[in-house]
């Protein structure tokens, strides 16, 4: 901010200030912030079964669940707007500044959801306020993954971007695991009646102190060398206009890969707790702990998969994952449908997520590697969030299908379609980005 004119001014990086950034510290900072932010976002899905009755009361439980999943979806619809806003901030003022704002704003919204009065207390204002907070959450989340991945990739040593940037999807996926653990601890500690009455609020409220710690950590970060090396004339005046006019194909590729990759994981991570707990009557505490263990085991492989993508190429590694989804989708969902043991459900879930993880570990990095550095944050955020709009409809479509068909097996068509879209995107004209320098 110029104190004399009162006008905001873009940061103008120069080659005179290019401090060395510790690659591991940069990767950990991006991954940790993403973990906290997606922990915030994931909690909603895990306690949706309790939220439905408080904010969307209805004589038919399926209708309440469907409305709750709709509120989940709306958080995805506004993500592109958040991607534009934080992308512009990251491309003009620095990656680290945008990452601080996203995590703080997300933390405030998540805490506020935990404090919201229910429908019984304030009537229609309750679901309206919930929707508003979900919109702001989606807005903030729209700037997180692209910024974290850009920061990590720009700070990584040559030939090791896959390894270092894998900490970003580890963070986003780990957020779901930590959310499952927190919800599991709460449900284990409280009775079912207490959980239904007020216990569901606790996971939202524990976000506040965690957000303060993460914000403090991110405030101490230097910006990435790539950003600081840019001369002032290279800073885009309008990053969105530039990326849309000059790189529309790359944005489309990023959007399709995002849909293909995260359409599969979001479906099971968000809708399955509601289905198995509400429809199948599985003990909520046991199910949350199972999910936490499975997700944790799967994400441990992400650095290994990232290293494989450095060695053999992003396209080969991700193509293996997409083909695996196409082949295994129906058998895995049939197994989900017919499993009667939580152990069996957990094993099937592990196989599903290991296959999906083969694509997740490199997906954010590929979108970053497609974009020139002057519009990297904006371009990656735009592509990722356009793809996530379609992803956000997965749980809602699943809830609607199950309410009519009474079965989850037909939902297998969703991950199969995602796999076909991902494979086609990789094979139809997309260049290999591993081993090449980031575009200037």
Q: Which pLDDT does position 69 carry in this prediction?
A: 59
Residue 149 CB-half CA count within 13 A: 33
pLDDT category, 15, cuts 50, 70, 90?
very low
Domain count within the chain: 1
Residue 438: inside a domain: no
Parent domain of 270? 23-220+236-427
Residue 1: inside a domain: no
Q: Which pLDDT does position 439 carry in this prediction?
A: 79
Pick from 207, 233, 160, 218: which is nearest to 26 by CA? 218
Higher pLDDT, 3 or 62: 62
Q: 3-state DSSP call for residue 223?
A: coil
Residue 416: inside a domain: yes
Residue 231: inside a domain: no
> Does residue 128 carry a pLDDT above 90?
no
> Does residue 328 carry a pLDDT above 90?
yes
Cβ(75)–Cβ(141) below 8 Å = yes
Task: Give me the CATH number covering residue 416.
Answer: 1.20.1250.20
Residue 361: inside a domain: yes
Q: Which pLDDT does position 20 carry in this prediction?
A: 57
* The two structure tokens encoding residue 157: 């040593």
Q: Which pLDDT does position 1 carry in this prediction?
A: 39
> Does residue 420 carry a pLDDT above 90?
yes
Residue 256: inside a domain: yes
Pick from 25, 73, 87: which is nearest to 254 by CA? 87
Query: In percent, how much of the chain has pLDDT > 90?
Result: 20
Q: The whole model's pTM is what?
A: 0.80
pLDDT tens per residue, range 218-232: 777 777 777 777 655
- Rounded to whole angstroms, the Cα distance separating 96 from 86 reads 11
């Amino acid at each position: 901010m110029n104190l004399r004119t009162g006008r905001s001014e873009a940061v103008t990086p120069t080659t005179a200030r290019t401090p060395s950034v510790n690659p591991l510290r940069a990767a950990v900072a991006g991954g940790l912030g993403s973990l906290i932010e997606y922990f915030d976002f994931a909690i909603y899905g895990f306690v949706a079964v309790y939220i439905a009755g408080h904010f969307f009361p209805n004589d038919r439980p399926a209708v309440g669940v469907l409305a709750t999943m709709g509120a989940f979806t709306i958080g995805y619809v506004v993500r592109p707007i958040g991607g534009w806003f934080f992308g512009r901030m990251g491309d003009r003022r620095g990656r680290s500044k945008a990452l601080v704002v996203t995590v703080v704003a997300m933390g405030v919204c998540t805490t506020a959801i935990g404090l919201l009065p229910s429908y019984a207390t304030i009537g229609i204002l309750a679901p309206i306020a919930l929707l508003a907070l979900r919109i702001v959450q989606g807005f903030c989340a729209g700037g997180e993954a692209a910024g974290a991945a850009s920061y990590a990739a720009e700070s990584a040593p040559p030939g090791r971007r896959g390894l270092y940037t894998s900490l970003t999807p580890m963070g986003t996926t780990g957020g779901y695991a930590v959310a499952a653990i927190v919800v599991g601890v709460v449900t284990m500690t409280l009775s079912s009646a207490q959980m239904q009455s007020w216990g569901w609020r606790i996971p939202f409220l524990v976000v506040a102190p965690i957000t303060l710690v993460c914000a403090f950590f991110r405030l101490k970060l230097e910006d990435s060398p790539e950003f600081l090396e840019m001369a002032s004339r290279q800073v885009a005046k309008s990053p969105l206009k530039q990326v849309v006019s000059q790189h529309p194909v790359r944005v489309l590729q990023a959007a399709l890969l995002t849909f293909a990759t995260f359409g599969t994981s979001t479906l099971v991570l968000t809708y399955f707790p509601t289905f198995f707990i509400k429809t199948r009557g599985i003990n909520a505490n046991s199910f949350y702990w199972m999910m936490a263990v499975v997700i944790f085991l799967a994400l441990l492989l992400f650095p290994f998969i990232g290293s494989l993508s450095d060695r053999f190429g992003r396209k080969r590694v991700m193509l293996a994952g997409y083909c695996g989804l196409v082949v295994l989708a129906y058998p895995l969902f049939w197994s989900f449908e017919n499993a009667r043991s939580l152990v069996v459900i957990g094993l099937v879930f592990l196989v599903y997520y290991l296959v999906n993880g083969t694509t997740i570990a490199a997906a954010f990095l590929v979108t970053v590697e497609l974009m020139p550095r002057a519009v990297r944050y904006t371009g990656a955020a735009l592509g990722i969030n356009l793809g996530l709009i379609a992803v956000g409809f997965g749980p809602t479509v699943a809830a609607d299908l199950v309410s009519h068909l009474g079965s989850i097996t037909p939902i297998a068509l969703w991950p199969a379609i995602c796999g076909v879209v991902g494979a086609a995107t990789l094979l139809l004209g997309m260049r290999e980005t591993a081993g090449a320098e980031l575009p200037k």
